[in-house]
Structure 1
């Protein structure tokens, strides 16, 4: 994908980056790092399903887009489908294809609403969308695992945590959390302690603020 490279060039301090991966249009969105922290928690596990499951889901999404295009036309990718169209033509897909499509269509809508939330400085709304995103990744896209779900659940119990979701290809790896800055240290401690108590694994956790992209500075 293009996201890592794009943010390395275009990132700006105190901002998140909204990117359209088709057109490469992008928009900087305000992210007040004095108010919130981004916390990444590592489950320290990786189940050997990643690459094959990724390819399988990509094929399922492509087939769902093809079948929907036969019904309504003009569907190159699932991003071209609205929730209303998907609901109206759900019978064109099998159960698995419908779940995959529901995740992609819903995630695109959540992304737009998340951008609006950041523009409004509504971190509570943004956090709720993160939680919804994880539920969709778990239930419809089916790329989560017990350890990721546990870490998201533990985050939700911590005061000051606004939202949490898995990141990456899934089946292990990390979660990303949005936390009020004054609660970040305590939240990290609570997540790590709870995860260690249940799994016996010592997780890693890192706090981040939004900074600018890669650059060369003359000393």
Structure 2
């Protein structure tokens, strides 16, 4: 999939600028199996890369200016080496922000960007865009930043240029993910282990039909609620809290719910990693089901349309696997893990189309 997208980007570049690009970078999207809304609480997460992503074809151009084409939007942007924020938050915010955040721009570039991730699906199209641009910048100057450096630059771009107070999971999963593996990432110190997904497991994603919007939604509010809970408990982050500590606290009802989700979700991530290592698909599916219920009832980031998709898939999958919403919430995609070879059966039973991840 990435090779075809890179070829498409190169062809689009040649058509726009009249010559072949000097290079083409690629960054995948990601799906998070479990560990939702815990990355900004220093928690543990278990994402894996998808096959689809973003490609950026580039060549060196004017010394002091960038010329960037967003082929999928039919739009272009021209700006100096030290760009200002655009008037509205859109794809230009991420491209300009990543150029500033990386600190790798020595001269201007011509760039054509294209992707095959559905925007608003919860598969981290923004992180994919940022990392693809960061890799292009690094290649252009012969730099070799590590995945953590690229991920941190992409996170700064989200915070400072897009107004989303996200954690580091998406960016690390995109920058360091390995195909066919789930990444057990510690968001406190960015250490990670790659856990191979069994060949007799299938991982697939289906869109709920509800486009997700983190800025317009309540993502930032959830982060503030978690920070308030940690402060009230006298700890640096909810990573250090226990269920007993939260239940025995004087937190108000809503803040208590948010904290309970985070503490239990971190424990679920540990349990999911153990189930993955043990190749216990039934246990893994049970963890996914519990995770969705928590996101729906305690963290309140699911929506009825997504719940309906999850319920339908749970019924179709049965005890050997599970499904849940994935991503920041308020719409987006649903991830399902089930027995390999059942994809066609599930598509018929649910009437839905799946994007195969593994």
TM-score of the superposed pair, with normalisation by structure 2: 0.51
**Which residue matches 1:179?**
338
Structure 1 residue 46: deviation in Å? 2.7
Q: Does 1:207 align with 2:356?
A: yes
1:1-219 matches, within 5 Å, as 1-32=167-198, 34-46=199-211, 51-69=216-234, 75-89=235-249, 92-159=250-317, 162-191=321-350, 193=351, 204-209=353-358
Structure 1 residue 204: deviation in Å? 4.5
Count of residues in Structure 1 that have an aligned counterpart in Structure 2: 191
Unaligned runs of 5+ in 1: 70-74, 194-202, 210-219
**Which residue matches 2:101?**
none
Structure 1 runs (4+) greater than 6 angstroms displaced? none
Instruction: For 2:313 and 2:215, locate their aligned partners in 1 and report how far apart those are by CA, in whole Å.
Output: 24
Relative contact order, higher structure (CA 8 A, sep 6+):
1
Which is greater in Rg? 2
Q: Which sits farther off after the overlay, 7-16 or 172-181?
A: 7-16
Structure 1 residue 85: deviation in Å? 1.7
How has the CA–CA distance of structure 1 residues 121 and 157 changed in structure 2, closer, same or farther, with 3 Å as cutoff? same
How has the CA–CA distance of structure 1 residues 62 and 40 changed in structure 2, closer, same or farther, with 3 Å as cutoff? same
- Residues 27-63 of structure 1: per-residue CA shift (max 9 Å, x gap): 122311x201111010121366754411111111111
Structure 1 residue 66: deviation in Å? 0.5
How has the CA–CA distance of structure 1 residues 159 and 94 changed in structure 2, closer, same or farther, with 3 Å as cutoff? closer
How has the CA–CA distance of structure 1 residues 204 and 51 changed in structure 2, closer, same or farther, with 3 Å as cutoff? farther
How has the CA–CA distance of structure 1 residues 184 and 24 changed in structure 2, closer, same or farther, with 3 Å as cutoff? same
Please state whether the residue corresponding to 1:46 is helix, strand or coil: coil
Instruction: For 1:189 and 1:50, locate their aligned partners in 2 and report how far apart those are by CA, in whole Å.
Output: 35
**Which residue matches 1:200?**
none
How has the CA–CA distance of structure 1 residues 204 and 159 changed in structure 2, closer, same or farther, with 3 Å as cutoff? closer
Unaligned runs of 5+ in 2: 1-166
Instruction: For 1:158 and 1:44, locate their aligned partners in 2 and report how far apart those are by CA, in whole Å.
Output: 19
TM-score of the superposed pair, with normalisation by structure 1: 0.81
How has the CA–CA distance of structure 1 residues 65 and 51 changed in structure 2, closer, same or farther, with 3 Å as cutoff? farther
Structure with more of its chain in helix, by fraction? 1
Q: CA RMSD in A?
A: 1.8
How has the CA–CA distance of structure 1 residues 21 and 57 changed in structure 2, closer, same or farther, with 3 Å as cutoff? same
Structure 1 residue 12: deviation in Å? 3.0
